[in-house]
Structure 1
Amino acid sequence: MTADSPRRIDVHHHLIPPFYRDLLTKAGIAEAGGRALPDWSAEAALEQLDLLGTDTAVVSVSTPGAGFLTDPAEAADLARRLNEYAAGLPERFGWFATVPMPDAAASAAEAVRALDELGADGVTLLANNRGTYLGAPGQDALWRALNDRGAVVFVHPADLPAPAVEGIPPFAADFLLDTTRAAFLLVRNGVVRTYPDIRFILSHAGGFVPYASHRMAVTIAGETGRSPLDVLDDFRSFYFDTALSSSPAALPTLLAFARPGHVLFGSDWPFAPSIAGQYFATALDTELAPTTLAAINRTNALPLFPRLGGTPAPAPSRNLRRSAQRAGARFFFRLVNPGTK
């Protein structure tokens, strides 16, 4: 391990087991969030970790999770299979359990099994499941089970429960709104206050939460009679990952809003291609003060995932990291100069 290796803990990193891809294909689901399902293997994932100087990735199943199966027993069985697969990954991977939402009772049961018996590091919850958002009534069995265990909950967006707008891929804008809707309801309906031992991580810098937090706080205060400052405090209780969000415009807003220690590194691989991960990681590496960078890359995650702070992975060579940084810079140049090859 070289002295300048980031030793990142990536909290937003996906897996696509072969049997899961087959089930999605059989169900006619060829893409997630408007993007074709990418290729995935544990070996390719480890290569990506090495490229970005990442020690550990906490993997999760992305949308549509298990909820595309409308039969509750089939969805519960798929969640069990996905969790058993994740539990068998190499030791450089942590994992978030999949649960069969929107069935809150079945999800509570599978969360307990995954956390207590399989050693999951937390639970993935999609912002909405077939139109039912996190924070809606009827989910207390799940919240109680997670709160009793001080669980980490990774909130990941799904397709909005409405037709996509032609020309706007869901991952480009709708995902950010989906996460924001869930965060709003989790605060509006008192989930984060009633169950304070759950640690919620919001994907992609929380969608629009940091930017719109005061607007939403005033709205909730007007509806509930609560103090806007108390509502803002609830929004600031969330953790936020940097996946696709460490741009010069988004990152200052996130850092200005989030509590100290509440910003975590995320890559969104493989749905975000390697070149995108290199660009956003390079933005962190080059724009942040060393202490802030070290906190986001690693130390902020350790209180949430203490077992992942063990033996570091072999570091990539300095030449490999410099190559990744140059690739990230070229990617950004093409973004702002679309006619350039």
Structure 2
Amino acid sequence: MTGLIDVHAHFVTDPYVRQAIAACHVHPDGMDRWPTWSVEAHLELMDRHGIQTAVLSMSSPGVHFGDDAAARRLAREVNEHAARLAADHPERFGFFASLPLPDVDGALTEIAYAVDDLGADGVVLMTNTGGTYLGDRRWEPVFAELDRRRTVVFLHPTSPVCWEQSALGRPRPMVEYIFDTARTVTDLVMSGVFVRHPDLPVIVPHCGGALPVLADRVNEFMTQFLGTQEAGRTSDAVAQLRRLHYDIAGPAFPRQVPALLELADLDRLLFGSDYCWTPPSVADSHIAAVDAVTPPVDGVTWRSLTTANARRLFPRLSR
């Protein structure tokens, strides 16, 4: 079997969890508890499923809990921890660096340090920061710098600010994550971020969330109803969405990947386990489903296909 490259894999540290709990994230995004994580347990899962490399990232709620200086320190702490993991296991782990948004200056400083000094494989951005979505003009310096560096951007959903009403008392990863992903990518499309930065490599998680079934609707509103008031009007939504990359973390089969393939080409799909937020037994079933389905082209498996795609996106992993 081809060794998988897992672009959607998480880690947590005890100091990070303590700071998050102190900031009232006792039940992160409505989940019962924080997951446990260790190098040994992660490598065991990887070995069991033939995962060669996992690109680690911090999940929601990110590193900013209200104080810019504290967020800068926490981002630096978790990024240096991830860099040590990658240095200790160079063929097994990479990482996406966390940024202390909404602190733009702090984020620009951390991009330079994480990429130039720590060797980060990219950055992770939450879908919103305090209710401000990624198409907002205040983040343009961040996207301009990431574009200049051709740094891979991995999007990760988080709770919307209205979750107390919209989640209906249920864990936000179940439904809110899926729609917050669609919300922020739609904002990026309609605000013209992908037009201004057409070569910026972006990974959308969880089979694109709700985007595959909303893409035509978004495109129709952008081209037929909104006129020139949206910067993204210069390029239709579907064309912009086709340029993005999509991981297939979560229950990708039997329904989500077929829907995604109506929007994205096969060379844009990447494997993701979502471990450690997805428990091992659930990750086992998701990976078994990936292995049980044959892609709609001859001579490849989802393993070989997504791994080849990942190696093109991350040249370091091909060396």
Establish whether TM, by shorter chain, passes 0.5: yes
Q: In the alignment, what sits opposite 1:114?
A: 114
The answer for unaligned runs of 5 or more in structure 1 is 311-341
- 1:119-160 deviations in Å (ceiling 9; x for gaps): 000000000011111111211110111001101000000011
Q: 2:185 aligns with which of 175, 183, 201?
A: 183
Deviates more, 1:120-129 or 1:131-140: 131-140
Q: 1:41 aligns with which of 38, 41, 45?
A: 38
Contact persistence 1:126–1:157 (CA under 8 A): yes
Q: In the alignment, what sits opposite 2:59?
A: 62
- 1:195-233 deviations in Å (ceiling 9; x for gaps): 122111011111101111101111122314477973210
Q: In the alignment, what sits opposite 1:135?
A: 135
Change (3 A) 1:295 1:254: farther
Distance (Å, rounded) in 1 between the aligned partners of 2:98 and 2:169: 31
- 1:6-43 deviations in Å (ceiling 9; x for gaps): 31000000010121112123333223222221110111
Secondary structure in 1 matching 2:253: coil
Task: State the 4+ residue runs in structure 1 displaced beyond 4 angstroms.
Answer: 225-229
**1:279 maps to amino acid:** S
Distance (Å, rounded) in 2 between the aligned partners of 1:224 and 1:67: 36
Q: 1:87 aligns with which of 83, 86, 102?
A: 83
Contact persistence 1:217–1:228 (CA under 8 A): no
User: Could you say what the CA RMSD is over the residues aligned between the two structures, in angstroms?
Assistant: 1.7
**1:38 maps to amino acid:** P
Deviation, 1:252, is 0.6
Change (3 A) 1:103 1:216: same
Q: 2:289 aligns with which of 262, 265, 283?
A: 283
Q: 1:301 aligns with which of 299, 310, 314?
A: 310
Distance (Å, rounded) in 2 between the aligned partners of 1:196 and 1:74: 33
Change (3 A) 1:268 1:83: same
- Aligned: 1:169 with 2:165: no
Distance (Å, rounded) in 2 between the aligned partners of 1:79 and 1:246: 31
Q: 2:278 aligns with which of 272, 282, 292?
A: 272
**2:177 maps to amino acid:** F
TM alignment of 1:21-32, pairs within 5 A = 21-32=17-28
The number of equivalent residue pairs is 305
Distance (Å, rounded) in 2 between the aligned partners of 1:149 and 1:108: 12
Distance (Å, rounded) in 2 between the aligned partners of 1:214 and 1:42: 42
Secondary structure in 2 matching 1:16: coil
Change (3 A) 1:63 1:131: same
Contact persistence 1:205–1:245 (CA under 8 A): no
Distance (Å, rounded) in 1 between the aligned partners of 2:221 and 2:5: 35
Distance (Å, rounded) in 2 between the aligned partners of 1:6 and 1:33: 34
Deviation, 1:166, is 3.1
Q: 2:8 aligns with which of 1, 12, 29?
A: 12
Change (3 A) 1:145 1:159: same
Distance (Å, rounded) in 2 between the aligned partners of 1:95 and 1:298: 17
Q: 1:196 aligns with which of 198, 204, 216?
A: 198
Change (3 A) 1:177 1:141: same
**1:123 maps to amino acid:** V
Secondary structure in 2 matching 1:205: helix
Change (3 A) 1:272 1:305: same
- Aligned: 1:50 with 2:47: yes
Q: In the alignment, what sits opposite 2:144?
A: 144
**2:302 maps to amino acid:** L
Deviation, 1:273, is 0.9
Q: 1:234 aligns with which of 233, 237, 240?
A: 240
Secondary structure in 2 matching 1:20: helix
Deviation, 1:295, is 4.3
TM value normalised by structure 2: 0.91
Deviation, 1:256, is 2.5
Distance (Å, rounded) in 1 between the aligned partners of 2:193 and 2:248: 24
- Aligned: 1:124 with 2:133: no
